[in-house]
Amino acid sequence: MAKKRAISYQDAGVNIDEADRAVRSIRGMARRTFTSGVLTDIGSFGGGFRLQGFRDPVLISSADGAGTKLKLAFLTGRHSTIGEDLVNHCVNDIAVQGAMPLFFLDYFAVGKLNAKVAAEVVSGIARGCRENKCALIGGETAEMPGMYAAGEYDLAGFIVGAVERKKMITGSSIRAGDVLIGLPSTGLHTNGYSLARKLLFEVAGHAPRTMLAEIQGSIVDELLKIHRSYLKPIRALHDAGLLKGAAHITGGGITDNTPRILPKGLGARVHPGSWPVLPIFELLRRIGDIEEDDWRRTFNLGIGMICVVSPGDLTEAAKILKKLREAWHPIGEVVKGHGVQYR
């Protein structure tokens, strides 16, 4: 009787050796992000971090994904910036509450692991962590045959930061008459990609590398622009005691994100035309003949962060932002009421 052939894990589609190669390349990149608070090495069952320099710390955490911007990475084979998008998105989400980022963990899941692609993705994560002075202390690389289409993966991140309890930004001091300062975005950041891809590739029939005069470059270069970090301007305004609230403009746009920081009974009046709407958003609107309200709730329209300051502090805030070479626009004010009015 013939002996049965032994079935290995690799026969089921999981390559442990490829995973080891990925981890080896990731370990070096992660170590270069380590700060003095890191107590464990990559490969430990859990990441250890010692909280230092705080009297009454509050931990602020957030988790997010890169959304369907990943589809652009798959389509073009450009994987080195998507991780930076993810880190910056998470950093912004905790910075608006006054937190300094401490450490970051990632989740990278794929049907068939390619160590080179994994390393490219993590290189962006590591770069984002270094630039935000945040340690990449661990994560998960999961190979799951049958879960994802060939050449595709999922990516998510988890961040923890800290702030002194008395210095948390809660928005509770915001009053009617306060000024809304808009900080520019670089492009779509990580929101609105499902609609953008449909309009550009299906409706307009463009290819990713199509060059368009409206955006002064290729579609793929425009859509893969990095979701920027706003940590430096937020910290500078906060350290100066000027920042009363801040809203990260992600899914839902200015319309849905601004009210999240306003006390009950207050709304926002936003002045269309008070900042330059980026050409990519005008292009998308024209291709899809998008309703104005839908357009404003899908895209950031060129404003990635809104900071709230008192009218009397606007001049000082402007000086601080100028010193950082940070562009800004007074885009509206806080008013009595609710929601966002555009006028």
Q: Tell me: pLDDT of 78 over 90.
A: yes
The predicted-structure confidence for 241-251, as pLDDT tens digits, reads as follows 999 999 999 99
Average pLDDT over residues 157-176: 97
pLDDT for 290: 96
Q: Which one-letter DSSP state was computed for residue 333?
A: E
The mean per-residue pLDDT over the stretch 169-192 comes to 97
pLDDT at 1 over 80: no
What pLDDT sits at residue 12? 61
Q: What pLDDT, on the 0 to 100 scale, is given for residue 8?
A: 59
For the chain, give the mean pLDDT.
94
Give residue 6's pLDDT. Answer: 65
Q: Which domains does the chain have, with CATH numbers?
A: 10-167 (3.30.1330.10), 179-342 (3.90.650.10)
Query: What pLDDT score does 341 carry?
Result: 97
Buried b / exposed e along 60-70 (16+ C-beta atoms within 10 A): bebebbbbbbb
Nearest to 124 by CA among 161, 162, 69, 43: 69
Which pairs with CB-CB distance under 8 Å and at least 24 residues apart come from 235-241?
Answer: 235/95, 235/100, 236/320, 236/321, 236/323, 236/324, 237/307, 237/309, 237/317, 237/320, 237/321, 238/98, 238/167, 238/169, 240/316, 240/317, 240/320
Predicted pLDDT of residue 104? 98
Residue 186 CA: distances (Å) to CA of 43, 223, 278, 336: 35, 10, 8, 31
pLDDT tens for residues 256-270?
999 999 999 999 999
**pLDDT surpassing 90 at residue 21:** no
Percent of the chain with pLDDT over 90: 91
